[in-house]
């Protein structure tokens, strides 16, 4: 996931008033929780599955 995509998600969360989001794909999992002063962002990359 690129930083541009994370920024777009943060803007959408701000516009809708959402305070928490979790998105998981085969390649990564991102969990965003918005608080009053800080926006912790955690990205965990999942290793590719063996073929």
Q: Could you read off the pLDDT of 1-51 as tens digits, one per residue? A: 788 988 898 899 888 888 898 988 888 888 888 776 565 677 777 777 776
SS3 34: coil
For residue 16, the enclosing domain spans 3-45
* pTM confidence score: 0.56
The predicted structure's pLDDT at residue 34: 79
Does residue 50 lie within any of the structural domains? Answer: no
The predicted structure's pLDDT at residue 2: 84
Does residue 9 lie within any of the structural domains? Answer: yes
Q: What residues contact 22, with CB distance under 8 A and at least 6 apart?
A: 29, 30, 31, 32
Question: What span, in angstroms and rounded, lies between the C-alpha atoms of 44 and 51?
Answer: 21
CB 32 within 8 A of CB 40: yes
Does residue 38 lie within any of the structural domains? Answer: yes
Number of domains in the chain: 1
Neighbours of 38 (CB within 10 A): 8
The predicted structure's pLDDT at residue 47: 75
SS3 12: helix
Does residue 27 lie within any of the structural domains? Answer: yes
């Amino acid at each position: 996931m690129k930083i541009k995509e994370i920024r777009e998600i943060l803007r959408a969360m701000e516009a809708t008033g959402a305070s928490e989001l979790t998105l998981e794909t085969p390649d990564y999992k991102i969990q965003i929780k918005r608080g009053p002063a800080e926006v912790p962002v955690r990205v965990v990359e999942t290793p590719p599955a063996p073929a």
